[in-house]
Structure 1
């Protein structure tokens, strides 16, 4: 094991798995798709796909280690369906093997509802925020952020082109 790998393991508390970026991005996109299904709501969904980013804790230069992040949101729902979507997730996340680590108001002035969950087997994290500002002209939405743990890219991978 290289010194960089030892250092990464010490900083993270686990040995980052060697994994190709497209596989991890596909896995995170799949989780996002399932979460949308579990919400059981219909509305518009933002387009961006999951993408690799620097694993800041061990490799801020984005050369060897990476995480995959997928921020997206669902909006233009009928009134009342926002709370239905959050309630569905409160019920289904534990049924689907996720552990809810927070379910309460965000630490902001508005105190919007927030659910944070972790998948104990894969270590993916999920943050859901119902942004219901109540301010005229602002779009009400559920913001979703799916994150992977840190992985090590296979030897020869150029993460800036992955």
Structure 2
């Protein structure tokens, strides 16, 4: 699926700014929770599993974009040993009429699976896209979902973002 670079940058910026606060924080200097010790590759696999779990909650027929997670720095931390994982992807329902149902299912099902919805409602764009932000404190992960009803085709734009990981002793962050 093709995504306009400016839309991806805007979505990622929104996700990062909203997911570093709320319930997914601990008392540390960056405001981002510690997600554990892991290699970049293993943390990436974990994020794909989180995204897959969210996909399963959508509950309507459709198609997810084929995208891979990427690596981000942890603000204020050594970039050789600390990192975050982000996984941007999109869901296109089988029919445009299923988009509302998909978003409503996420809104009702995410809390049943350990997610706390910290923001829900229209964004400030001219299209008034519906935005849902949720944190999973146990998994140290947040998700930002934007329902883009006026896109052609209509989509859910999702970005899953982890807390800060630390690589095992003797290793460095692998960038991809």
TM-score by length of 1: 0.81
> How big is the shift at 1:50?
1.9
Partner of 1:113: 130
* SS of residue in 1 equivalent to 2:168: coil
Which has the higher mean CA deviation after the structures are superposed, 67-76 or 16-25? 16-25
CA distance in 2, matches of 1:122, 1:24: 11
Task: Count residues in correspondence.
Answer: 150
1:13 to 1:32, Cα distance in 2 relative to 1, 3 A: closer
Q: Does 1:62 align with 2:79?
A: yes
1:104 to 1:63, Cα distance in 2 relative to 1, 3 A: same
Partner of 1:103: 120
Structure 2 unmatched ranges of 5 or more: 1-27
1:154 to 157, 162, 168: 168
TM-score by length of 2: 0.75
- The answer as to whether partners of 2:29 and 2:76 remain within 8 angstroms in 1 is no
CA distance in 1, matches of 2:94, 2:157: 13
1:95 to 1:64, Cα distance in 2 relative to 1, 3 A: same
> How big is the shift at 1:106?
1.3
How large is the Cα RMSD of the aligned pairs? 2.2
Cα deviation, 1:66-122, whole Å, max 9, x if unaligned, reads: 000000001152121001101111111111111000110112221101111000212
Partner of 1:71: 88
1:90 to 1:54, Cα distance in 2 relative to 1, 3 A: same
> How big is the shift at 1:159?
2.1
CA distance in 2, matches of 1:20, 1:111: 39
> How big is the shift at 1:15?
5.2
**Residue pairs, 1:1-162, within 5 angstroms:** 9-12=28-31, 17-55=36-74, 57-59=75-77, 62-133=79-150, 138-160=152-174
Cα deviation, 1:117-137, whole Å, max 9, x if unaligned, reads: 000212210111111226xxx
Q: Looking at CA atoms only, which structure, 1 or 2, has the larger radius of gyration?
A: 1
CA distance in 2, matches of 1:131, 1:28: 23
CA distance in 2, matches of 1:72, 1:93: 17
